[in-house]
Amino acid sequence: MDIQILGITVLWIFLYGYLIVASIDFGAGFFAYYGKVTKRDDVINSIISRYLSPVWEVTNVFFVFFFVGLVGFFPKTAYYYGTALLVPGSIALVLLAIRGSFYAFGNYGAKDSHFYTFLYGATGLLIPASLSTALTISEGGFIDEKNGTVVFLVEELLTSFYSWAVVFLAIVSVLYISAMFLSFYASKAKDLKALELLRKYALFWSPPTILASFLVFLALKGHNEEHFNNMVDYSYFFILSFICFNIAVWLVYKNKRYGTAFIFVMLQFLFAFFGYGVSHLPYILYPYITIEAGFTNEAMGIALVIAFIAGLFLLIPSLFLLMRMFLFDAKYVEGNREK
Partner 1 sequence: MPELDSAMLSRLLTSLTLGFHILFATLGVGVPLLISGAEWIGIRRKDNHYRILARRWTRGFVVTVAVGVVTGTCIGLQLSLLWPSFMEVAGQVIGLPLFLETFAFFFEAIFLGIYLYTWDRFENPYYHWLLSVPVVIGSTASAFFISTVNAFMNSPKGFKLDNGQITEIKPLIAMFNPATPTKASHVISTAYLTSAFVLAAITAFLILKKGNSEYYRKALHFTMVTAFVFAIATVVIGDFSGKYLAKYQPEKLAAAEWHFETEKGADLIVGGILGEDGEVKYGLHLPNFLSILAHGDPNAEVIGLNEFPEDETAPLFIHYLFDLMIGIGMFLAALSTVFLILSRWRQGWQHSKLILWTIVAAGPLALLAIEFGWIFSEVGRQPWILWHVMETVDGATTSEHVGAMFILFFALYVVLGWICISVLLKMFRNNPVETEFEQMDR
Question: Which 3-state string (H, E, C) describes 79-125?
Answer: HHHHHHCHHHHHHHHHHHHHHHHHHHHHHHHCCCCHHHHHHHHHHHH
Angle at 177 between CA 335 and CA 217, to 5 degrees: 175
Q: Does 164 bind partner 1 (CB under 8 A)?
A: no
Using CA atoms, how far residue 175 sits from 25, 84, 233, 263, in Å, is 10, 29, 30, 16
Residues counted in the chain: 339
Q: Does 287 bind partner 1 (CB under 8 A)?
A: no
Q: Does 100 bind partner 1 (CB under 8 A)?
A: yes
Instruction: Give min distance, CB of 140 to partner 1, in A.
Output: 18
Q: Does 87 bind partner 1 (CB under 8 A)?
A: yes
Instruction: Give min distance, CB of 296 to partner 1, in A.
Output: 5
DSSP code, position 313: H
Instruction: Give min distance, CB of 287 to partner 1, in A.
Output: 18
Which CB atom, from 32 or from 251, has the smaller least distance to partner 1?
32
Distance, CA of 30 to chain centre: 15
CB 77 within 8 A of CB 143: no
Which CB atom, from 143 or from 261, has the smaller least distance to partner 1?
143
Which CB atom, from 85 or from 179, has the smaller least distance to partner 1?
85
Which CB atom, from 13 or from 203, has the smaller least distance to partner 1?
13
Binding mask 108-137 for partner 1 (x = CB under 8 A): xxx---------------------------
Contacting residue, 5, 37, 68, 232, with partner 1 by CB under 8 A: 68
- Determine the interface stretch with partner 1 among 72-80, 159-167, 170-178, 184-192 (rule: CB under 8 A): 72-80
Looking at the chain, list the stretches that DSSP marks H as alpha helix, in order from N- to C-terminal side. 3-37, 41-73, 75-84, 86-104, 114-137, 154-158, 161-188, 192-223, 225-233, 235-253, 258-280, 298-326, 330-333
* Distance between CA atoms of residues 231 and 238, nearest Å: 9
**Among residue numbers 143 through 162, which ones bind partner 1 (CB under 8 A)?**
149-150, 152
Instruction: Give min distance, CB of 70 to partner 1, in A.
Output: 9
Residues 6+ apart with CB under 8 A from 88: 130, 133, 134
Contacting residue, 104, 192, 211, 330, with partner 1 by CB under 8 A: 104
Could you give the angle at which helices 41-73 and 86-104 cross, rounded to 10 degrees? Answer: 140
Q: Which amino acid is at 25?
A: D
Instruction: Give min distance, CB of 11 to partner 1, in A.
Output: 11
- Determine the interface stretch with partner 1 among 35-43, 55-63, 229-237, 280-288 (rule: CB under 8 A): 55-63
* Distance between CA atoms of residues 154 and 225, nearest Å: 21
Quickly count: other Cβ atoms within 10 Å of residue 244's Cβ: 20
**Among residue numbers 196 through 255, which ones bind partner 1 (CB under 8 A)?**
none
CB 22 within 8 A of CB 304: no
Residue 308, SS3 per DSSP? helix
Torsion angle of the four alpha carbons 14, 16, 21, 22, in this order, in degrees rounded to the nearest 10: 100
Which CB atom, from 65 or from 181, has the smaller least distance to partner 1?
65
Q: Does 94 bind partner 1 (CB under 8 A)?
A: yes
Contacting residue, 2, 37, 90, 255, with partner 1 by CB under 8 A: 90
- Determine the interface stretch with partner 1 among 76-84, 162-170, 173-181, 193-201 (rule: CB under 8 A): 76-84
Contacting residue, 18, 26, 51, 67, with partner 1 by CB under 8 A: 67
Q: Does 264 bind partner 1 (CB under 8 A)?
A: no
Q: Which residues bind partner 1 (CB under 8 A)?
A: 53-55, 57-58, 60-61, 63-65, 67-69, 71-76, 78-83, 85-87, 89-91, 93-94, 96-98, 100-105, 108-110, 149-150, 152, 296-297, 299-300, 303-304, 307-308, 311, 314-315, 318-319, 321-322, 325-326, 332, 337-339
